[in-house]
Amino acid sequence: MRKNTVCNSVLLVCSMLLAGPCSLPMPAQAPASPYPKMAPIEQYLMNRDTEIALARSAAPDAISHDASVLVLARHGYETAVEGKNGWTCMVDRGWGGMLDNPDFWNPKIRAAGCLNPSATRSFLPYDLKRTELVLQRHSREEIIAATQAAIAKKELPALEPGAMCYMMSKTSYLFDQGDHTMSHVMFYTADDGAPWGANLANSPIIGVSYWSASPDIYPQLRTFPRIFVSLIAADKWSDGTPAMHM
């Protein structure tokens, strides 16, 4: 993917689906969005075979070939392929990002990801719960309350060490700007990315919160388990061809 500057790449990564906007100081109000509400469900659904192929393209074939594959249906994600290696590939929609992400309802988002076994066990349940609540037409405030209740009941697990995700598909749609996708890998941690040097000058690692860019918008999120996403650009697509991001 060709961009003129490192800054452009950073801005694109920060706006993508599973990361949301950069965790910079923001006013305590929801950001403006061209997608203020959920579109008809049909706009988020895909042909089943096309979705399976896109999901698998998130990681090299050596990983995705034996992975489980989930596809989105009208009431949530369903298992389309039972895997053998503990990995899970899927195509996330806009609501898989931060709760205050302007692309939360963007019906064009198609973010292919392959989660390793640790992320499948400990991060994926949050994603599936979010999708279930979204497709039940709950508001973001109701989603937060239901998630808070599920955490209190221990229905959602603690994040496991080593949880990570490949997002190396050429054909994902992560944002409306530019080339729409970027090859990268993501690591989920319970710290704020400081041990990684995330967000420091000239660091290749961009760190964001899974929950929100500004907790002041939804103060309840301050009590949620910390899930921090550290993103690192990759120099190739999942098929091994060069992925330019400079």
Q: Tell me the CA distances in angstroms from 29 to 16, 143, 224, one per residue in order.
A: 20, 17, 19
Residue 188 CA to residue 203 CA, distance in Å, equals: 17
Model confidence pLDDT, tens digit, residues 139-182: 999 999 999 999 999 999 999 999 999 999 999 999 998 889 99
Model confidence pLDDT, tens digit, residues 24-33: 333 445 556 8
Helix ranges restricted to H, the chain: 6-14, 48-56, 61-64, 117-122, 124-135, 140-152
What is the pLDDT of the chain when averaged over all its residues? 88
| Mean pLDDT, range 18-27, rounded to an integer | 36
Whole-structure pTM value: 0.88
Q: Which sequence spans correspond to the domains of the chain? A: 6-22+37-233
Supply the pLDDT for residue 12: 36
Tokens matching residue 133:
């609540």
Tokens matching residue 15:
């706006």
| Mean pLDDT, range 51-59, rounded to an integer | 98
Q: Within 13 Å, how many C-alpha atoms sit on residue 91's CB side?
A: 27
